[in-house]
Every structure is written in C-alpha cells, then in structure tokens.
Amino acid sequence: MKPSLQLRVGQQLTLTPQLKQAIRLLTLSTLELQNELSVAVETNPMLEWDEAQAREPPAEKVDTAHDPSGDETEAGADDDWREADGFDLPDFASVRPGEDADEDGGDARFAAIPDLHDHLLWQLHLSQLSPRDLAIAQAIVEALDEDGYLHEPDEAIIAAVAPEHRVGADEVAAVRHYVQQLEPVGVASRDLRECLTVQLQQFPDDAARALALRIVAAHLEPLARQDRGRLVRELGIEESALEAASALVRRCAPKPGARFASIAAEHVVPDVYVYKRQVHWEVGLNPAAAPRLRVNDHYVSLLRRCGRDEGSALRGQLQEARWLLKSLEQRDQTVLKVARVIVGRQQDYFERGPEAMKPMVLREVAEEIGMHESTVSRVTTRKYMHTPRGTLEFKYFFSSHVATRDGGEASSTAIQAMIKKLIDEETPQKPLSDSSISDLLKRRGILVARRTVAKYREALRIPSSNERVRAG
C-alpha cells in the first residue's frame, strides 16, 4: 500500500454559524437570554439597547397563517425592527421593568428574601448573647442543612470556634438549646423526634401536650403510619385523647427550615401571556421578557464612509449583529407558534381546569407547525406561559394518554386531577383505596389499573389510604 490522493463527490449536512446561534438561543430560558444579550451588547459595538419599547415583533409577522416560513431578507428585517407596532396585550401583561418600583428606585417584586441562615443570624445579632456564646451560635447556624437540622457533631462546632474561643460540649449544648427556640422553632435539632419535642413544648402545658410528648418520644413510628388501634392499645387511652394529641403533632413542622428554601426558588419570567378576549383564547409575547436590541446607526454611518479595505472588523461585527437580531426574531416566532398550538389544543383546560386536559405529545405539535420534534422539545423546555390558572411551563401541557371505554383517550394529567379530586372529597374515616379509585374511574369510562392509580397517586405525593386514615 502507498499513499494516494482521491477526489470524491458527496453531500453532507453542516450547521452554519447562524443556525447554531439560532438553536442555542432557542434552548435558553428568558433569564439566560437576558444575560446573553447583555454580553452581546458589551462585546459588539454595532449593538445597542433600544430603550423606546420592549422587544416584540408585530402580530402579523408572528401569525403562522400568514408567515409559515418565517424567512425574510436582512434589509426587510431591519425595517421591521424599526417600524414594529406592539402586540395588543391585556393590561396585566404590560408591566415593564422599572414599574411598581419603590421610592429608592428598586423593584419590590425582586427584593431579596433572606434564607434560613440569614434569618437566624439576624435574630442572634439582636440577642444579648455574650461574644463567646454568639460565636458558638453562629457556628451552629452555619452548619444547618436546608431543612434546619444539625448533623454536625459537637466536636465540629467546638473546632469551628476554636481559633477564637475554647469551649466545651456543655456550652455547645446550652447554646444549641437557645438556637432551637428561635424562629422557626425546632431548628438545630438532631433528628425528627427532638425537633417535634421542642415545638410541642411551646404549647400550653395540658393533658394533650403531655400525651403528644409521650407519643413522639416512644411511638413515633405507629403515629406516622396512622396506626390508631395500636396507639390506643399501647398507650391505654381513649380515641378522643389520641385525636387531641395527634392534632398538636400535626401542627408541628417536621422540616422547620423548608419554608425558607421554597421561597428562595429561582425567579421565573413568563415568555408568553394567555388571556381570553370575548370567547377566544389568545396568546401574546411578554414584552418585558427581554430588552430590545437594535443596530447602532452611528457606527453604521461611519462604516459607510470607510473604503472597501477599511473597517473589515466592524463589517464582521455588523453581520454578527444582524444574525443575532434575526435569530431573536425567529426565536420569538417559534415560541409563539408553539404556544398558540398548545393553547388551541388545550382550550378545555383553560375553561374547565386540569380534569379537561387532553393528551398531547411533541410530535403532534411539530407536525402542526411544520418543524422538527427536537425543535419543539427545545421550545417547551424552561419556557413559561402566564395564564389565568397560574404560570406554567410549556411541558406541563404534554402528557401520555390512557384509553377510555368508548375508544377515546384521556391524558394522564387529567386522570391525576381526577384522582386528587376523588381523594379530596373522600370520607376522612374511610379513605379510598387504589382499587376503589380504579373502580370509580372505570365507571366514568376511564380504564386505569390499580397499579397505575398508585403510580399517579405517588406522583402527586398523596399517602396511601392507610396513612390517610384520621378521625372526622
């Protein structure tokens, strides 16, 4: 064998830089897109913010019936960006950044909310603890997990304050008891039993509290399983006494720090708004989702004065700026197309709620808008719509189907809503078993096996019937 040169003719699909950019922008969430645009403005002098109005293409340009391809020339696109009239949105959708601001110029909606550690440290700094005890308390707070529990041993706390103070295990225990009394009560506990005990001690000292403390101390497992018969036998008490004690335990928080973790969730900006106008459901882009960009006219005029051999770098940046603006417009069009199809197919949901959700898969939407299924998948990921029923991710409206008796189909989301409604309406003393729920759904013409009911119930985080037993 010897080296040789060969010439072959073939075809190969290649992603152009413009297409790669369009795909990448399509996968970004609204917050990520805002960061991406900020970086683009900082690095490309041919781009600038358009402060005149929020970025939103005209309604006729995003109407799939009039513009199925979404393709235009660069010159025509530039004119559209300058002459766009805004889409007619309802009043509740017209909030722009800077509105509802407080007197200091900040936006109250985005005010920083302290987490569990900041909340506890704030209380400690208002206390009258000595510098020695304050250092121990701060070390304890810093060691808490997101639920408010302390899993670090006393030796770790002692080592944390060792550079400043020499303390013993008794001092750590005393300060930990003080921290447990802060808001939320029960933080810094070692386990669930201790956490509930600390909280129960806040209630008035009566027979119900005494019995609740006995149950938490030695009978927590049967209480968690709602094994009321076993509790009555082992404790030698009446049902009424057990119910009063159980009611106190239910008022306690098994994870005292969890509510601080839930409010610190990532902020979601809706990409589109869904609203009803007369008898029709309509969709419009959120004008405040991302700021509008435009080509810097000053630099364009300077570039026109340059010769053919001059300003090559600026010409390249001008082309990149036009590509970005074109990609943003295509992103808006694609998001709006998918949102309109979703709303059109799920109008029963908006009218009647989750029980009316229809089964829908990505392929159906892709076929209707004439795009690939992977494109629809990118659009439905981390994209949100603000609706009268809440702000929902696009993916929420996609679900598998279950056969019905008449040969039709019901979505899994609708079935889960039915299961939740049946459980909410059940008799507390006789909760519905999975088999009973399956039978009730079959009477409605929905063929769902008991195992499927159990899977949907667990997805809804609803306990089994044995765990739901409680006195009326």
Three-state SS across 225-288?
A: CCCHHHHHHHHCCCHHHHHHHHHHHHCCCCCCCHHHHHHCCCCCCCCEEEEEECCEEEEEECCC
**What are the structure tokens assigned to 343, written together?**
């709303």
Q: Are residues 230 and 81 in contact, defined by beta-carbon separation less than 8 angstroms?
A: no
pLDDT at 8: 80
The answer to whether 151 and 176 have CB atoms below 8 angstroms apart is no
pLDDT of residue 84: 35
| 342-351: long-range pairs with CB below 8 Å, 24+ | 342/385, 342/394, 342/397, 343/274, 343/281, 343/282, 343/283, 343/385, 344/281, 345/397, 346/397, 347/281, 349/389, 349/397, 350/274, 350/276, 350/281, 350/387, 350/388, 350/389
Give the pairing type, strands 280-285 and 292-295.
unpaired
The count of other CB atoms within 10 Å of the CB of residue 345 is 17
By 3-state DSSP, what share of the chain in percent is helix, strand and coil, each rounded to 5?
Answer: 50, 10, 40
Domains, the chain, ordered by start: 17-91+270-387 (no CATH), 116-260 (no CATH), 399-459 (1.10.10.60)
Euclidean distance between CA atoms 138 and 219, whole angstroms = 34
Name residue 257's amino acid.
G
Contact between 383 and 283 under an 8 Å Cβ cutoff? The reply is no
The per-residue pLDDT for 101 is 38
pTM of the model: 0.54
pLDDT score of 70: 39
Nearest alpha carbon to residue 289 among 382, 178, 401: 382
* Residue in this structure with the two tokens 């909410």, named with its chain if needed: 424
Looking at residue 12, its pLDDT comes to: 64
Q: Kindly tell me the burial class for residue 406, based on how many C-beta atoms sit within 10 Å of its own C-beta (0-12, 13-18, 19 or more).
A: exposed
Rounded CA-CA distance 403/42 in Å is 55
At residue 217, the pLDDT reads 93
Asked whether 433 and 414 are in contact (CB, 8 A), the reply is no
The Cα diameter of the chain in Å comes to 99
The residue type found at 294 is R
Both structure tokens of 189: 């506990």
Instruction: List the one residue out of 365, 319, 303, 268 whose CA is nearest residue 30.
Output: 268
Could you give the angle at the alpha carbon of 237 between the alpha carbons of 232 and 241, nearest 5°?
100
The pair of structure tokens assigned to 223 is: 């209480």
Whole-number Å distance between alpha carbons of 142 and 118: 10
Strands across the sheet containing 272-277: 280-285, 272-277, 384-387, 390-393
Q: Averaged in consecutive runs of 10 residues, what is the pLDDT profile of the chain (472 residues)?
A: 77 70 85 88 89 47 36 38 35 36 40 74 89 93 92 90 89 95 94 95 93 93 86 91 92 89 65 91 86 84 74 83 91 94 93 88 92 89 91 87 63 86 87 90 85 87 80 40
